[in-house]
């Protein structure tokens, strides 16, 4: 391939997808391609798909159309979860040339012989049982934060979820490779690493391509805490039954891990949790939250919750609403249940009408706003470290404290990717927090071209 060929990427879905897109992009760059923004004209467009978000197929078609507007002769490739679950469907979309499933996506450059358009998308997807090897990845899309993949796949059989069908069994990166990637990230001057995976608390399983356990998630956390040059480590999302007390206690005294946990709940009703085949009941969840807050009173706790699952009556929904209202948490990610092919829940009785699902979702999003506001108010007057981000948003620079409070101050390029001590003072009308400097930052020469 000539060095002039341009490739662009579009990622749908989770942080894990972003880390994998970055790795695929680096593979292209190693082969001599030039990476450009998706809004630019390119020779190849790669779309990393998601099976979790609703209307995945509609969104995919729109993205394909947008790419073809920029170059109607571009070579279009679909990879990712939706490409594994519904490869023929994506291959039939007008303009798609190549669809790669779970095991093939990291070998994408091997499948590109020439860039001539195909009449029908060519499919290379495995039986998901074959997705039993591990490919490490990390994203370095912005200068302040990287997503580091440590684990892939899931052995859980939640009745609403297609992830095991899309990503295969639970398997982990070797501890040695995770530490190598973390070191590479820190050497690029990136200050924060977010650990990602499908079920990261399951880390260790499949480290050697089988079920043998050499390391645990707790040991991973301990080892990462010793890597030089990493200022912050954040655990992205971890199942409540896999977040052990020893991990919580270690985070509370660690050098780099921040007091921020994102713990999926899905329902506050034990009846619904059983129907979902979750691996805990609501009382275990309460214990986890209480233990975190007792150990780290200023910790931020985010919660995933699904509304409108089959069998969720008004009474059961209100049980979840009350459960979350009384829980000392900081914000919610609310998902409206949507039926997925080849899942148990899709054929369950007690289907909740779509308009009722939407109403419940709105109620919980309203509760999330209140919870976040109450958490921010509880932090006023406290001192934290903020890491500033690289975007100029309407004349302001934003950043996050270690416990995930969003702050803002007038734009100053000198602050980008810098850590500063601040005291939180007031909540702005847009919901972010203003602050006083503990130590006023000194001026420094900055190369503005780096920040654009």
Q: What is the pLDDT of residues 303-361, one digit of tens each?
A: 999 999 999 999 999 999 999 999 999 999 999 999 988 999 999 999 999 999 999 99
- pLDDT tens digit sequence for 194-235: 999 989 999 998 766 555 667 999 999 999 999 998 999 999
Q: Can you give the pLDDT at residue 292? A: 98
Determine the pLDDT at residue 451. Answer: 39
Average pLDDT of the chain? Answer: 89
Residue 129 has pLDDT above 90, yes or no: no
Spacing of C-alpha 44 from chain mean position:
25
Where b means 16+ CB within 10 Å and e means fewer, 221-231 reads bbebbebeebb
Structure tokens at 28: 């292209």
Cβ neighbours of 132 (radius 10 Å)? 16
The Cα diameter of the chain in Å comes to: 64
Residues contacting residue 78 through CB under 8 Å, at least 6 positions apart: 47, 49, 60, 90, 91, 93, 96, 98, 99, 100, 121
What is the pLDDT confidence band of residue 449, given thresholds at 50, 70 and 90?
A: very low
- Strand pairing of 171-172 and 151-152? antiparallel
pLDDT at residue number 167: 84
Q: For residue 377, which of 323, 330, 333, 327 has the smallest C-alpha distance? A: 330
Per-residue model confidence (pLDDT) at position 108:
85
Q: Is the pTM of this model over 0.85?
A: no
What is the structure's pLDDT at 86? 87
Q: How confident is the model at residue 434 (pLDDT cuts 50, 70, 90)?
A: very high
Give the per-residue pLDDT at 120.
56
The C-alpha atoms of residue 210 and residue 391 are separated, in whole angstroms, by 43
Q: Tell me which residue of 156, 251, 116, 249 sits closest to 195, measured CA to CA.
A: 251
């Amino acid at each position: 391939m000539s060095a002039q060929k341009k490739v662009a990427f579009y990622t749908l879905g989770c942080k894990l997808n972003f880390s994998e897109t970055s790795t695929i992009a680096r593979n292209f760059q190693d082969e001599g391609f030039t990476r450009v923004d998706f809004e630019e004209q390119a020779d190849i467009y790669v779309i990393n798909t998601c099976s979790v978000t609703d209307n995945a197929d509609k969104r995919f078609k729109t993205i394909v159309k947008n790419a073809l507007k920029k170059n109607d002769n571009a070579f279009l490739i679909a990879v990712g979860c939706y490409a594994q679950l519904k490869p023929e469907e994506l291959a039939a979309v007008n303009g798609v040339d190549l669809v790669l499933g779970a095991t093939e996506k990291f070998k994408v450059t091997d499948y590109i012989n020439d860039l001539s358009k195909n009449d029908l998308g060519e499919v290379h997807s495995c039986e998901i049982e074959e997705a039993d090897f591990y490919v490490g990845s990390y994203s370095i899309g912005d200068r302040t934060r990287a997503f580091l993949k440590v684990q892939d796949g899931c052995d859980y059989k939640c009745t609403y979820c297609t992830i095991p069908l899309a990503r295969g069994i639970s398997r982990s990166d070797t501890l040695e490779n995770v530490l190598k990637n973390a070191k590479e990230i820190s050497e690029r001057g990136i200050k924060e690493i977010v650990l990602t995976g499908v079920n990261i608390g399951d880390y260790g399983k499949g480290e050697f391509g089988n079920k043998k356990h050499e390391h645990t998630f707790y040991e991973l956390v301990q080892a990462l805490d010793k890597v030089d040059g990493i200022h912050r480590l954040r655990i992205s999302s971890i199942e409540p039954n896999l977040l052990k007390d020893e991990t919580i206690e270690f985070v509370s005294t660690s050098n780099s891990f921040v007091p921020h946990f994102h713990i999926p709940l899905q329902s506050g009703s034990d009846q619904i949790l059983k129907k979902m085949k979750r691996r805990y009941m609501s009382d275990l969840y309460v214990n986890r939250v209480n233990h975190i807050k007792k150990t780290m009173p200023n910790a931020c706790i985010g919660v995933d919750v699904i509304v409108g699952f089959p069998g969720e009556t008004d009474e059961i929904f209100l049980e979840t609403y009350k459960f979350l209202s009384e829980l000392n948490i900081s914000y919610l990610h609310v998902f409206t249940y949507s039926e997925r092919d080849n899942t148990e829940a899709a054929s369950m009785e007690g289907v909740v009408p779509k308009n009722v699902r939407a109403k419940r979702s709105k109620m919980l999003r309203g509760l999330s706003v209140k919870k976040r506001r109450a958490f921010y108010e509880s932090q006023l007057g406290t001192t934290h470290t903020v890491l500033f981000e690289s975007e100029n948003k309407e004349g302001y620079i934003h950043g996050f404290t270690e416990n995930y409070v969003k702050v803002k101050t007038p734009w100053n390029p000198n602050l980008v990717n810098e850590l500063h001590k601040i005291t939180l003072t007031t909540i702005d009308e847009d919901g972010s927090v203003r602050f006083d400097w503990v130590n006023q930052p000194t001026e420094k020469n900055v190369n503005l071209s780096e920040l654009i």
